[in-house]
Structure 1
Amino acid sequence: MRYIAMKEPGDARVLSVDTTETPQLQAGEVLIDVAYAGVNRPDVFQRMGAYPPPLGASPILGLEVSGTVTQVGSGVTQFSVGDTVCALTNGGAYAEQVAVDASQCLHVPKGLSLAEAAALPETCFTVWSNVFDRGGLKPGETLLVHGGASGIGTTAIQMAKALGSRVIATASSADKCQMCLDLGADLAINYREEDYVEVIKSFTDKRGVDVTLDMVGGDYIDRNIQVAAMDGRIVSIAFLRGPKAEVNFMPVMLKRLTLTGSTLRPQPPEVKAQIATQLEAIVWPLIVTGKIKPQLAKIFSLYDAPEAHQMMEDNKIIGKIVLDMQAES
């Protein structure tokens, strides 16, 4: 099978198309003919050598796919050969075929293309796990999403609005802010032109926000504490500005705040299976009815993976990038 190889860590130019053996199917897994693979920032970090795969995971890049089931391992009853699925992988998505634990697969929602379906797993699993499980966002509460125009951000905005919450988003340009508003955000703040702390305090009459989804880190860590409401929850999932900050913990105590965070990839299959079950029951029907729709920034051929990674690094995207893994050279 063809796959996107990375001979050594480096910039986007280290990516190239090569061939390797088809993965061997294990009990509880399905083999998927990959139509599209999603591109995510952890892929960029792994390519740079900063995010090694967990023990036992495929060294091939890629964390989400859509495609067709071609083989079913022993013990799998929920999928059959020929089913179209999307899946959260532990690695190996940048290939023509991938073996995935069946519990991390979901049927493609009715009405979605396979390209759109490939943009679902990583963002939906991440948002559900962090905003609703860890963050405990409830209807009527306010969610602050940093990076609102990213794949994670656009998913978080739509999911929170569909489930009855208010949303404030930050983004780096007027176009990205407009996208956030178009997706349902109640307020979008261009952080390059405005101080989001002051804007949020004014917008909420100094009450603040109940849940913050932060993928920025650095100086945002203390600023998130400043805009948190009483009993607020701040969930960190990435640190684009670094994991270290000088923080005043007095407001954490006085406001009874919860600071938490997580990484999805190293978590055991049973945790991911539980998230998949919740998504199928609660989020998938919202996708079918159009209340949540994956936002595709661009579809690249697998041969153009370096350009896809560079686009991600340049932070010029609105939505998700996917790779067409069946494209011809």
Structure 2
Amino acid sequence: MRAIACHDGEMTIADVPTPTVADNEVLIRVAAAGVNRADLLQRRGLYPPPPGASDIIGLEVSGTVVDVGGHITEFRTGDQVCALLSGGGYAEFVAVPASQVIPLPTGVSLHDAAALPEVACTVVSNLLLTAHLQPGETLLIHGGSSGIGTHAIQLAKHLGARVAVTARTPEKLAACRDLGADITINYADEDFVEVIKEAGGADVILDIIGAKYLQQNVAALSTGGRLVIIGMQGGITGELNIAQLLAKRAAVIGTTLRARPTYGPGSKAEVVAATLETTLPLLSNGTIKPVVDSRFPLADAAAAHARLDSGDAIGKVLLIVDE
């Protein structure tokens, strides 16, 4: 099969063996693959795949089931699906545990469905399973126009939360407002801490920045607030004002998705099951829609990475594999 091979940060098309399915897996003919910041890090040698995972880049795909393992009853050949992966997405075929496969939502195109698994599972695992976001609470999303941000805005509004976002251009802030954001903050010329404090503080903060925003995020939390850190774009080491954290009875939580086990408590299977229950109906009835910034052929993976790395994308960048 064709797949993207990566050597010293350079990506090229290569012929590699087609994977075979284990008893708990399905084989998917890939239609499209989502591009994520983790992919950029892996390409640079900074984010190796978990033990046992494919070393081919790619954490989510959409496509058609072409083979099923001996223990699989919930999917069959011909089913259109999307899937959360530990790796292997930039290829014509991928084998994935059936517990990480999501049926194609009604009304979502097969290509656009590749924009869903990573963001939907990340948002559910962090806003619902970790932060327990409640109706009427205020959620602050850093990077509101990102793939995760655009999805989180829609789910949080459905849940009845008030949503604040940060972004760096008027166009990105406008896109967030169109998706339902109540408070939009241009971090290039506004102090998000002051804006959020004036709004009563944030009950939950979903943060992709990490160390750079740690002190400011704690300052922006309300009493009982929960800061959930899911990225490190602003560094890995920062100072924490413990006195402020204690006074607010607040929590700082770090999570990741790729390194979770396949099964068991806190596993990918558990997150996908919660996503199927919570988000799949909202995708099928149009309450939540995938936001796609751009599409690139598989052979142009480098251009797709450049688009995401530019910081200009609004929503997801996709690789189209079946054309």
Report the TM-score when normalising by structure 2.
0.98
Residues 10-89 of structure 1: pairs in structure 2 closer than 5 A: 10=9, 14-89=10-85
Post-superposition CA distance 1:207-261 (Å, at most 9, x none): 3010000001223111000010110000001110101112221110000011101
Unmatched segments (≥5 aa) in structure 2: none
How many residue pairs get matched? Answer: 320
Tell me the secondary structure at the aligned position of residue 94 of structure 2: strand
Cα distance in 2 for partners of 1:323, 1:23 equals 20
The amino acid that maps onto 1:313 is: D
1:241 aligns with 2:241: no
Equivalent in 93, 101, 106 of residue 110 of structure 1: 106
1:197 aligns with 2:232: no
Equivalent in 164, 188, 197 of residue 168 of structure 1: 164
Cα distance in 2 for partners of 1:296, 1:90 equals 22
The amino acid that maps onto 2:91 is: A
Unmatched segments (≥5 aa) in structure 1: none
Tell me the secondary structure at the aligned position of residue 269 of structure 1: coil
Tell me the secondary structure at the aligned position of residue 111 of structure 2: helix
The amino acid that maps onto 2:155 is: M
Kept in 2: contact 1:169–1:189 (CA 8 A): yes
Partner of 1:263: 256
Cα distance in 2 for partners of 1:273, 1:58 equals 18
Cα distance in 1 for partners of 2:176, 2:238 equals 28
- The CA RMSD over aligned residues, in Å, is 0.8
Post-superposition CA distance 1:110-167 (Å, at most 9, x none): 0000121100000011111111111111111111000000001001111111111110
Cα distance in 2 for partners of 1:158, 1:296 equals 14
The amino acid that maps onto 2:258 is: R
Tell me the secondary structure at the aligned position of residue 74 of structure 1: coil
Kept in 1: contact 2:106–2:285 (CA 8 A): no
Partner of 1:254: 247
1:159 aligns with 2:150: no
Equivalent in 145, 151, 165 of residue 149 of structure 1: 145
Cα distance in 1 for partners of 2:142, 2:70 equals 42
Kept in 2: contact 1:126–1:152 (CA 8 A): yes
Cα distance in 1 for partners of 2:225, 2:58 equals 33
Equivalent in 227, 230, 240 of residue 223 of structure 2: 230
Kept in 2: contact 1:130–1:261 (CA 8 A): no
Range moving further from structure 2, 215-224 or 29-38: 215-224
Tell me the secondary structure at the aligned position of residue 81 of structure 1: coil
Q: Percent of aligned positions with the same letter in both sequences?
A: 49
Partner of 1:98: 94
Kept in 1: contact 2:56–2:87 (CA 8 A): yes
Partner of 1:208: 201
The amino acid that maps onto 1:167 is: V
Q: Could you list the runs of 4 or more consecutive aligned residues of structure 1 that deviate by over 6 angstroms after TM superposition? A: none
Tell me the secondary structure at the aligned position of residue 61 of structure 2: strand
